[in-house]
Amino acid sequence: MSLNNQPSQGKLDPITFFYGFGAAIVLIASMFKFVGWEYATELFIVGLAIEAVVFLVSAFERTKAEKEYAWENVFPQLVDKNAASNLPGTATGMSAGVASPDLQQKFDQLGQQVQQMQQSLQAFSSHLDKNAGIASQSMQSMENMNREIEKYNDHLKRLNQKFSELSGR
């Protein structure tokens, strides 16, 4: 019994207990080593030895076979194909696997919307291509203009030099 007078939720597994105990000793040994206290090496030896023994013992531990979940209880159509027609969301009188008209209409609308989105993306892509061409032409024009401005600056420098020579400065 626990402190609140309720039955405990399970029993203590000895392997898990010793595994945790060994890990705690290794952590304490690490703290001793970091702080520089005595007996850190001995604590490491004890903790790691406990860990090694636990790992060795757990290698031979047998596990319990888990109970296989019975999915056919949740989904009866897995066993009986006629059970699918009685499930909510399926049309009565229709064979298993056929969607209701409402669901089919929604799928059709979804297909149309996907098609519209594809057309919009194609139009957007063509606009991007067109704008990329315009941007490339603009870049070329800017480069040409920069070359002309450099020529103009060179001519202006030479003109200033000639003026300076003629004026005697």
Closest to 77 (Cα-Cα) out of 95, 102, 101: 95
| Overall average pLDDT of the 126-155 stretch | 92
Q: What is the pLDDT of residue 2?
A: 46
Cβ within 8 Å of residue 91, ≥6 positions away = 85, 98, 99, 100, 101
3-state secondary structure the chain: CCCCCCCCCCCCCHHHHHHHHHHHHHHHHHHHHHHCCCCHHHHHHHHHHHHHHHHHHHHCCCCCCCCCCCHHHHCHHHCCHHHHHHCCCCCCCCCCCCCCHHHHHHHHHHHHHHHHHHHHHHHHHHHHHHHHHHHHHHHHHHHHHHHHHHHHHHHHHHHHHHHHHHHCC
Count how many residues are written for the chain: 169
Q: What is the pLDDT of residue 168?
A: 78
Q: What confidence tens digit (pLDDT) does each residue in 32-61 have?
A: 999 999 999 999 999 899 989 988 888 887
pTM attached to this predicted model: 0.34
Selected residue with higher pLDDT from 77 and 119 = 119
Average pLDDT of the chain to the nearest whole number: 82
Q: What confidence tens digit (pLDDT) does each residue in 97-121 have?
A: 555 788 888 888 999 999 999 999 9
- Domain spans of the chain, in order of start: 1-61, 101-167
- For the chain, the C-alpha Rg in angstroms (whole number) is 41
% pLDDT > 90, the chain: 36
